């Protein structure tokens, strides 16, 4: 399974999964159709599936146009998003499985950003390869999504599921927010040397116009404050020892950043 990262809109990423042996492709969160159609033509591939993580327009905006070109493509999304994702045919819940080519994926129900958000996790195909996590707007590189329809407790539970994945898991998050996220992270976690070094690396990458996605679970666990609600230094900074309150206060500060 090849993964192609397609820039879209102002800061979105669409992910095209390609099976060159079968000449087929699937797309994760098509914000718009044009970049996907261009990539499909270049690859000589047919679209067989659309994997949506949630209903927001910058994740499903291309569904309808893609289905006009590939009417047999199957549209997947969360069960709680019924009626909110254009063309949705498969309604997924926690623990369900999907497949692209010869690769199975596990579905996680991860409400918080929205009430119906899901993620797709493809375990490693071999011991030497990474797992692949498509998490929409739940984890970002250095950050997490805003809580539009969920609660801090829900988001901590959702992030815990993803934090428990192997460190050698690539995180394909849907926006290029990394530099701003790490600037905030450095402000709330100033003694984290690994975080400081990461921020400098990302700043240099962005100056060169390089993408910072995918990230890795191991990197996020060490440097992303929104996965570190049980860290003493962050609890001290947020003036609470309660993990959910620590997360909630961090998210509130980021909302005002």
Q: Where does residue 214 fall: left (phi above 0), alpha (psi -120 to 50 degrees), or beta otherwise? A: beta
Strand-pair category, 24-28 with 46-51: parallel
- Rounded Cα distance between 56 and 187, Å, is 30
Cβ atoms 63, 30 nearer than 8 A: yes
Query: Would you name the residues annotated as active-site residues?
Result: 54, 56, 58-59, 113, 137, 175
- Rounded Cα distance between 158 and 238, Å, is 21
- Rounded Cα distance between 210 and 195, Å, is 19
Identify which of 124, 100, 97 has the alpha carbon closest to the alpha carbon of residue 20. 100
Identify which of 257, 233, 235, 231 has the alpha carbon closest to the alpha carbon of residue 246. 235
């Amino acid at each position: 399974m090849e993964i192609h990262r397609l820039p879209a809109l102002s800061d979105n990423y669409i992910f095209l999964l390609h099976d060159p042996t079968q000449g087929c492709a699937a797309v994760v969160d098509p914000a718009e159709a044009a970049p996907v159609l261009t990539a499909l033509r270049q690859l000589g591939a047919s679209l067989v599936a659309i994997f949506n993580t949630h209903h927001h327009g910058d994740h499903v905006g291309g569904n309808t146009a893609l289905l006009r070109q590939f009417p047999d493509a199957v549209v997947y999304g969360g069960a709680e998003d019924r009626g909110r994702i254009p063309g949705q045919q498969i309604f997924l819940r926690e623990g369900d499985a999907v497949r692209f080519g010869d690769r199975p994926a596990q579905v996680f129900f991860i409400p918080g950003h929205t009430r119906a958000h899901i993620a797709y996790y493809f375990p490693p195909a071999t011991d030497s390869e990474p797992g692949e996590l498509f998490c929409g707007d739940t984890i970002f590189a250095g950050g997490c999504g805003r809580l539009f329809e969920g609660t801090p407790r829900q988001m901590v539970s959702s992030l815990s599921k993803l934090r428990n994945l192997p460190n050698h898991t690539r995180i394909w998050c849907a926006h290029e927010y990394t530099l701003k996220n790490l600037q905030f992270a450095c402000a709330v976690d100033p003694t984290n040397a690994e975080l400081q070094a990461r921020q400098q690396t990302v700043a240099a990458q962005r100056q060169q116009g390089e993408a910072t996605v995918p990230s890795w679970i191991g990197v996020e666990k060490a440097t992303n404050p929104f996965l570190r609600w049980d860290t003493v230094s962050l609890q001290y900074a947020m003036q609470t020892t309660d993990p959910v309150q620590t997360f909630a206060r961090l998210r509130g500060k980021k909302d005002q950043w």
